[in-house]
Amino acid sequence: DQQVKQNSPSLSVQEGRISILNCDYTNSMFDYFLWYKKYPAEGPTFLISISSIKDKNEDGRFTVFLNKSAKHLSLHIVPSQPGDSAVYFCAASMDNYGQNFVFGPGTRLSVLP
Amino acid sequence: DVKVTQSSRYLVKRTGEKVFLECVQDMDHENMFWYRQDPGLGLRLIYFSYDVKMKEKGDIPEGYSVSREKKERFSLILESASTNQTSMYLCASSPLSGGAYNEQFFGPGTRLTVL
């Protein structure tokens, strides 16, 4: 059973609008979360992170929100650009050294010009 | 510029063959990881290593082994390849943070097909 879920396999958004990617987790021991972006034929690259002591973290056009009681986090991209088209993975960790991350299945975002 | 390289981008092997996937990082990271990525399943951890000659099983170690003889190099070995090991294999590395969390840096992946 997957501990980290991304229930939307794909999402299409118009350029300039907001993209919202969702992630749910089942293990309340997770206390650190990351988002990775992956282009075809490349490895995933780190995008943004949030620890459980926060409910929001912002970096430019990217904002991650964490709702611990709902075990839910979301990634907002505003405004969306065609270059944001990629697969986005949510990942969660609970170990003290940040070694073990559990990844979700990914959401493919397409930003349409 | 940090770099994780993998020996092959594409590999085709036959059932029963022994397969070696090599990964090298130039960032002096203590931790190295091997994942496989399959559609609908995301990245699943096969093995990781936090030091030379040390290894820990991940979520799906069956049918795989690893070797870490040098800090910068982490090898994944398929002792007898099977068709269900056809997948994208991703190597990653991260520093040992001593309590803080760190992102992992990924290589470009090796797409392995077992016929």
Please check whether residue B108 lies inside any domain of the structure: no
B1/A99 Cα distance (integer angstroms)? 22
| Mean pLDDT of the region B53-59 | 92
Domain boundaries, chain A: 4-95+103-112
Domain A4-95+103-112 is found in CATH 2.60.40.10: yes
Best B2, B103, B110, B111 residue to mutate vs chain A (most A CBs within 10 Å): B103
User: pLDDT (tens digit, 9 = 90+) per residue, A40-59?
Assistant: 888 999 999 998 899 999 99
Q: Tell me, yes or no, whether B114 lies in a domain.
A: no
- On the question of pLDDT at B2 being above 70, the answer is no
Q: Would you say B94 and B106 are in contact if contact means Cβ atoms under 8 Å apart?
A: no
8 Å CB contact of A106 and B42: yes
In a domain, B65, yes or no: yes
* Residue B103 within a domain: no
C-alpha dist (Å) from residue B84 to A55, A61, B56, B114? 40, 40, 22, 8
What pLDDT score does A76 carry?
Answer: 98
Q: Which residues of B touch A42 (CB under 8 A)?
A: 108-109
- d(CA B7, CA B77) in angstroms, rounded, equals 13
Query: pLDDT grade, residue A73 (50/70/90)?
Result: very high
Q: Containing domain of residue B68, as a range?
A: 4-96
CATH of the domain at B25: 2.60.40.10
Q: How many domains does chain B have?
A: 1
Is B83 a domain residue? yes
User: CB within 8 A of A108, min separation 6: which ones?
Assistant: A9, A10, A11, A86, A87, A88
B50/A51 touch (CB, cutoff 8 Å), yes or no? no
pLDDT at A96: 58
A32–B108 C-beta distance less than 8 A: no
Find how far residue A10's CA is from the centre of its chain: 13
pLDDT of A98 reads 57
